[in-house]
Structure formats: C-alpha cells, structure tokens
Structure 1
Amino acid sequence: MVGILLMTHAPLGQAFIAAAAHVFRSPVERVEAIDVTADQDTNEVNRLSREAIARLDDGDGVLVITDIKGGTPSNCCNCLANPGRVEVIAGISLPMLLRAITYRRDTLDVVVEMALAGAQNGAVRVDNRIRVG
C-alpha cells in the first residue's frame, strides 16, 4: 500500500487527516503529517520527513503532498522526490487526499494520477443563483 505524507504549513496536515478520518468514518492508516511552523529549522523538517518516509514505505512507495509550491514545506520536499519511490505533488485539497487514500492499493503512478484528477475535478464553481426561464 502506498504511504502518504502531508507536508504543510501548520496546522493543515493534521486537519486534513482528521477530515479524511471523518469522511471514511475511521482513522486512516499509513498517512502522516508534518505541520511546518514558521520558525522551524528546515534541517529538522528534512530529517522528520526522511524518517516519516522510512516508516510509511512498505515497498510500494510514498506520495508526499504539500500545500503550496514554493512554500517552505514544498521547498523541503524538493530533496525527497525519487521517481518511482517517492513522488511529490503540490496543491493539497480534500478531494485530492481522498482520491489518494482510495486508490493507494494501486501503483504509486496511479495514486499520483488519481490524486491529481481528484484535485482537478474537485474544484468547481457552486452557483446557487435562481435561474428563470
């Protein structure tokens, strides 16, 4: 099963994990978050992320999801990417995470594609204006 690591600005990662547990009505296994604080040392973040990846990788790889490309959590992810073993995507959303969790028994490449599709399909305009006609 593909492991999932959320690398986000605090407290987003833990909030996303809690939301996923709410949707699935149980704790989600093999998902961890590193919530990076404003003054946190990036060397510490890199160490924590490598340790988390080692815990999460059961041989099927790890998907690292970060919140915003160019932010500190994302920049710390740059050194983690290892094609086929550790894939990194930015722009976390709940639809993205739920898709990644749902498909993580598939290959890492499929999990990446499904997570990206979840993000793209999950962003829609909600229009409640009354239409006449």
Structure 2
Amino acid sequence: MRVGLLIITHRRIGSETLAAAERALGICPLQTRCLEVFNEDDRDELIARARRLLEELDSGAGVLILTDAYGATPSNIAVEAAAGRTSRVVSGINLPMLLCVFNYPSRWLAALAESAARGGRAGVVHIGQEEPKP
C-alpha cells in the first residue's frame, strides 16, 4: 500500500506542476489527483469533491495533500476535507517539493509529508550575484 497524493491549488498550478514532475521523472509513482480551485467555484462543492477524491486515493496508507498558498482557499479546503481522515496537508507546493515526494514513494505518510516540506524549502534558493564594487 502506498500513500495517495491529492494536489489542491488555484487554477492550473497543481496540474502544471504535476505535468512538469512527470516529464522530469518519466513516471508518476503515486496515485495522484488534482483539484483545481477557481474564484467562481462553490466552497461547499469543492470540499465535497475533495472528500470524494480522498476516499478514492486512500488505499489504507493515507493521503498526502499538497496545496499552493497557506491560508488561501485551496489550503482551507484541504484542511476541512482532511478532518478525521488519515492525511497530512503541506502547503507551498513547488516542483522540488513534488519531485522529492515522487523520489520517495514508499515512505509512510508522516515521513512523506516531512520530505515534501523539506524538499520544498530546499528548492527555494537565492541565486545572487555580488554587487559591483565602486
């Protein structure tokens, strides 16, 4: 049994990030679904859809939920849909985060969530140049 993966983001952020990760690795090692949130969507319907996706994705090992911006609608939907379920929510999805998750697909839910957070943070690097000296 492997952890399922649900990506909940504004518009196409999740599906495009997923597509980039699949192109980079050539595979999608976890059962994964995306839920895209648009401004005109009904919040209660989004929560219901998220709950249905969580049921579909949970094979017994739980579901990791990745969202884009902490405190925004996708993150709030994830937290509400995940209540009472075997799941973890990690916010701030980026390509390094998703690649890290896909590189360790056999990890348990808690370890996979920690890997996601660590991979996301490690992928944010300021690549600066020295200021020219007068």
Q: Which residue does the alignment assign to 1:78?
A: 79
Q: Distance in 1 between matches of 2:102 and 2:83?
A: 20
Q: Could you tell me whether the CA contact under 8 Å between 2:3 and 2:58 is conserved in 1?
A: yes
Q: Deviations over 1:29-56 (max 9, x none)?
A: 4111001011100111111111111111
Q: Indicate the larger mover: 78-87 or 6-15.
A: 78-87
Contact 2:3–2:109 under 8 Å retained in 1 = yes
The size of the alignment, in residue pairs, is 132
- After superposition, residues 54-69 of structure 1 pair within 5 angstroms as 54-69=55-70
- Could you say which residue in structure 2 is the equivalent of 1:49? 50
- The residue that corresponds to 1:26 in the other structure is 27
Deviation per CA, 1:68-104, whole angstroms, max 9, x where unpaired? 0111111111213357811111111111111112222
TM-score using structure 2 length: 0.88
Q: Give the gaps of 5 or more residues in structure 2.
A: none
With normalisation by structure 1, the TM-score equals: 0.89
Identity of aligned residues (%): 32
Specify the SS of the correspondent of 2:110: helix
**Alpha-carbon deviation of 1:125?**
1.3
What is the correspondence of 1:89-104 to structure 2 with a 5 Å cutoff?
A: 89-104=90-105
Query: What residue is the counterpart of 1:10 in the other structure?
Result: 11
CA-based RMSD = 2.1
Task: Name the stretch that deviates more: 22-31 or 62-71.
Answer: 22-31
Q: What is the SS of the residue equivalent to 2:113?
A: helix
Q: For the residues of structure 2 that align with 1:106 and 1:82, how far apart are their CA atoms?
A: 22
- Flag the 1:113–1:84 CA change in 2: closer, same or farther, 3 A: farther
Q: Is the 8 A contact 1:65 1:88 kept in 2?
A: yes
